[in-house]
């Protein structure tokens, strides 16, 4: 709770700093603010408080995911210096919106009441709509924003209708109360309730970009400014999956038999469509968008299996996915700025000219592909073992096949960077700070691969 209050204060402060036009102060302020918020969040570890009639529950799950979200945002802000280095104005609006969407994300990881879930989702989404269109004079950005907005509000409609139905049958928005209702009337739950559940699931599936509700994701991720894409595809996904897990683990666990089919359908379709579509992409940003979709499929494994290690594995997978994605996007931003496109061709011979950046990209790609000993491998391994322990053998088989396909496209940039000769491209000049940051992030990815037990054991 303290974290949300502090973050709100930080976001409002950020907006005020825009008034005095101090660009140089803004980013350090936000970064140090995020660090403070991170500690404010972490010190509540193990206290299990709840606020406002259980609207907001601060348990370990919430704190862990909040920490992950703040960490991710922190990384995005670090690389924002590079992305916006040519922009003169202070960008307080974009930064503030990013912080607001972080607040939405945190709310999604800590709600105790469906009302809060809705508010969290909308805070996150509305900020995202604006952020997606923040490159005002870029047609792609405009298109992305409008597409996101149209599909997003449409999905919100279904989510709301589902919530209304659930409320109508169970008589409460409180997660525990709904759970008690399910336990009490296990045999006589009306169809209306199940219809409501399906609609809520659809809304959540839309947010995590699960097939067949993923259509917005590739276009929006491709069209949005790259930094925002990095932000949306990590924060949005992590927060939504946390919310989905929370919703099912607290409320719908006793009707899990009913939801499992739908979730399995989502997971399998997501992995197949996501990976297959990514295969022949030439646009790196779009490829990563599809990679994000396929990763939602793996994340759903933990929710389907609902084993004792599900939450921890979800956390570990989310963190490793987020860090790898941000690393990749940080390199993509750089290459795009210097060479003009997102095409794979621009990565030819990058390893010779910019070894540090190429190394970071390679680490990120290999982590996403699940090559040991990187974090991505341990994440996939653990999530598969969670599914395996739950008895979902077929799911794991699909997951492994999807992983195999994914190696094909994740290795393409590596091949271009390391085994192709550069044609006519010059070395990309970068600042030392950027080099250090990107190296640190990729090393973090390697280190993380050696301590999966530590992270998974948290929850």
Partner 1 sequence: MPDAVQNLQMIPLNDYIFFCSALFAIGIIGVLIKRNALVIFMSVELMLNSANLLLAAFSAYRNDPAGQIFVFFIMVVAAAEVAIGLALLVMIYRSTHSIDINALNKLKW
Partner 2 sequence: MIEYIWLVPLLPLIGFLLIAFNFKRFQGSVSGIIASSAIFVSFIISLIVFIEIYSSKQTATVQLFHWIKFNKIDISFSFLIDQLSTLMLMIITGVGFLIHVYSIGYMKGDSGFNRFFSYMNLFVFFMLLLVLGSNYLIMFIGWEGVGLCSYLLIGFWFKKHENNNAAKKAFIMNRIGDLGFLLGIFMLYYYFGTLNFNGIFFQAHMFTIGNPTITIITLLLFVGAIGKSAQIPLFTWLPDAMAGPTPVSALIHAATMVTAGIYMIARSNVLFVLSPITLLIIAIVGITTALLAGGIAIFQTDIKKVLAYSTVSQLGFMFLALGVGAFTGAMFHLTTHAFFKALLFLAAGSVIHALNGEQDIRKMGGLKNKIPITFFTFLIGTIAISGIPPFSGFFSKDMILIGAFEANSIFWIIAVIVSLMTTFYMFRLLYIVFWKRSNKEDLHAHESPKNMTIPLMILAVLSVLAGAFGIPLVFGGNDIIGNFLSPIFTESTNIIKINAHEISHNTELLLMFIPVIFVFVVVYLAYYVYVKQKKLPEADNQKRPFFSNIFFKKLYFDEIYNALFVKPALWLSDFLHNIIELKVIDRMVNQAGNLVVWTGKTIRYIQTGNVGFYLFAMVISIILILIFKLFI
Residues binding partner 2 (CB under 8 A): 146-147, 150-151, 154-155, 158, 191, 194-195, 198-199, 202, 206, 212-213, 215-216, 218-219, 258, 261-262, 265, 273, 275-281, 405, 408
Q: In angstroms, what is the minimal distance from the CB of 266 to partner 1?
A: 21
Interaction partner, residue 411 (partner 1, partner 2, none; CB < 5-8 Å by kind): none
76's tokens:
């995005």
Task: Tell the residue number behind the tokens 């997660």, with chain if given.
Answer: 175
Binding-site size for partner 1 (CB under 8 A) equals 40
**How many CA atoms lie less than 13 Å away from 8 in the CB half-sphere?**
8
User: Contact 257/106 with Cβ under 8 angstroms?
Assistant: no
- Residue 187: CB minimum distance to partner 1, A: 22
Question: How many Å is the Cα radius of gyration of the chain?
Answer: 21
How many other β-carbons are positioned within 10 Å of the β-carbon of residue 148?
25
Per-residue burial over 273-287, b = 16 or more CB atoms within 10 Å of its CB, e = otherwise: bbbebbeebeebbbb
Which residue, 42 or 195, is less far from partner 2 as judged by CB?
Answer: 195
- The least CB distance from residue 194 to partner 2, in Å, is 6
Minimum CB–partner distance for residue 155 and partner 1 (Å): 10
How far are the Cα atoms of 346, 371, 407, 451 from residue 379, in angstroms, in the given order? 30, 10, 15, 11
The single residue among 133, 399, 413, 452 that binds partner 1, judged by CB under 8 A, is 133
Q: What are phi and psi of 212, to 5 degrees?
A: -95, 25
Choosing from 223, 312, 390, 449, the residue that interacts with partner 1 (CB under 8 A) is: 223
Residue 212 sits in the site that holds partner 1 (CB under 8 A)? no
248 Cβ contact list (under 8 Å, min separation 6): 256, 259, 303, 306
Any contact of residue 56 with partner 1 (CB under 8 A)? Answer: no
Nearest-approach distance from CB 167 to partner 1, in angstroms: 6
Q: How far is the CB of 215 from partner 2 (least distance, A)?
A: 4
With both helix axes pointing from N to C terminus, report the angle between 92-110 and 237-250 in degrees, rounded to the nearest 10.
20
User: Is residue 67 at the binding interface for partner 1, with CB under 8 A as the rule?
Assistant: no
* Dist. CA 217–CA 114, nearest whole Å: 25
Cβ pair 97, 7 in contact under 8 A? no
Minimum Å distance from CB 141 to partner 2?
A: 15
Q: Does the protein bind partner 1 through residue 137 (CB under 8 A)?
A: yes
Judged by CB under 8 A, the residue of 110, 222, 296, 367 near partner 1 is 222
Tokens of residue 451, six digits? 């301590």
Q: Which of 25, 140, 183, 433 binds partner 1 (CB under 8 A)?
A: 140
Choosing among partner 1, partner 2, none, which partner's interface includes residue 155 (Cβ < 5 to 8 Å by kind)? partner 2
| The entry of partner 2, partner 1, none that residue 171 binds, CB within 5 to 8 Å by partner kind | partner 1
Check residue 340 and report its DSSP letter.
Answer: S
194 binds, among partner 1, partner 2, none (CB under 5 to 8 A by kind): partner 2
Could you give the 3-state DSSP secondary structure of residue 59? coil
Nearest Cα to 377, choosing from 406, 344, 335? Answer: 406
CA distance 384 to 389: 9
Degrees (nearest 5) of the Cα angle 53, 56, 58? 120
- The entry of partner 2, partner 1, none near residue 261 (CB within 5 to 8 angstroms by kind) is partner 2
Q: Which is nearer to partner 1, 29 or 146 (CB)?
A: 146
H/E/C letters for each residue in 352-415?
HHCHHHHHHHHHHHHHHHCCCCCHHHHHHHHHHHHHHHCCCHHHHHHHHHHHHHHHHHHHHHHH
Binders of partner 1 among 112-131, rule CB under 8 A? Answer: 115, 118-119, 122, 126, 129-130
Q: Which does 223 bind (CB under 5 to 8 A by kind): partner 2, partner 1, none?
A: partner 1
Site for partner 1 in 167-186 (CB under 8 A): 167-168, 171-173
Q: Which does 153 bind (CB under 5 to 8 A by kind): partner 2, partner 1, none?
A: partner 1
Q: 77 by DSSP, 3-state: which?
A: helix
Q: Which does 129 bind (CB under 5 to 8 A by kind): partner 1, partner 2, none?
A: partner 1
Residues at the site binding partner 1, with contacts judged by CB under 8 A: 115, 118-119, 122, 126, 129-130, 133, 136-137, 139-140, 142-147, 149-150, 153-154, 156-158, 160-161, 163-165, 167-168, 171-173, 192, 218-219, 222-223
């Amino acid at each position: 709770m303290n974290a949300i209050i502090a973050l709100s204060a930080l976001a409002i402060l950020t907006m005020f700093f825009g008034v005095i036009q101090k660009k140089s102060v803004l980013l350090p302020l936000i970064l140090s603010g995020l660090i403070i918020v991170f500690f404010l969040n972490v010190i509540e570890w193990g206290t299990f408080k709840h606020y406002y009639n259980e609207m907001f529950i601060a348990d370990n799950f919430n704190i862990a995911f909040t920490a992950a979200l703040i960490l991710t945002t922190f990384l995005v802000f670090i690389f924002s210096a590079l992305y916006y280095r040519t922009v003169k104005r202070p960008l307080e609006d974009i930064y503030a919106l990013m912080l607001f969407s972080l607040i939405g994300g945190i709310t999604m990881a800590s709600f105790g009441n469906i009302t809060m879930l809705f508010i969290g989702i909308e805070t996150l989404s509305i900020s995202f709509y604006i952020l997606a269109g923040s490159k005002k004079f870029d047609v792609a950005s405009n298109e992305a924003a409008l597409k996101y907005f149209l599909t997003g509000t449409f999905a919100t409609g279904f989510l709301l209708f589902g919530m209304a139905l659930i409320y109508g049958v169970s008589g409460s928005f409180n997660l525990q109360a709904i759970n008690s209702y399910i336990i009490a009337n296990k045999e006589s739950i009306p169809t209306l309730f199940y219809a409501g559940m399906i609609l809520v699931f659809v809304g959540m599936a839309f947010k995590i970009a699960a097939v067949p509700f993923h259509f917005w994701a590739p276009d929006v991720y491709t069209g949005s400014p790259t930094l925002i894409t990095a932000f949306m595809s990590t924060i949005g996904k992590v927060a939504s999956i946390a919310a989905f897990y929370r919703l099912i683990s607290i409320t719908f666990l006793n009707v899990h038999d009913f939801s499992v089919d739908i979730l399995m359908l989502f997971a399998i379709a997501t992995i197949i469509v996501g990976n297959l579509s990514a295969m022949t992409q030439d646009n790196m940003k779009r490829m990563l968008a599809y990679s994000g979709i396929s990763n939602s499929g793996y994340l759903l494994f933990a929710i389907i299996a609902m084993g004792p290690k599900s939450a921890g594995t979800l956390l570990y997978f989310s963190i490793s996915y987020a860090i790898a994605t941000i690393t990749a996007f940080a390199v993509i931003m750089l290459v795009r700025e210097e060479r003009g496109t997102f095409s794979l061709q621009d990565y030819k011979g990058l390893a010779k000219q910019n070894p540090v950046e190429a190394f970071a990209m390679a680490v990120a790609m290999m982590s996403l592909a699940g090559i040991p000993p990187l974090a991505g491998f341990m994440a996939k391994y653990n999530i598969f073992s969670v599914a395996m322990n739950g008895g979902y053998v077929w799911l794991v088989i699909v997951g492994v096949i999807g992983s195999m396909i994914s190696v094909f496209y994740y290795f393409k940039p590596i091949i271009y960077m390391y085994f192709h000769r550069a044609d006519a491209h010059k070395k990309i000049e970068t600042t030392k700070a950027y080099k250090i940051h990107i190296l640190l992030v990729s090393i973090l990815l390697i280190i993380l691969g050696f301590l999966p037990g530590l992270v998974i054991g948290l929850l």
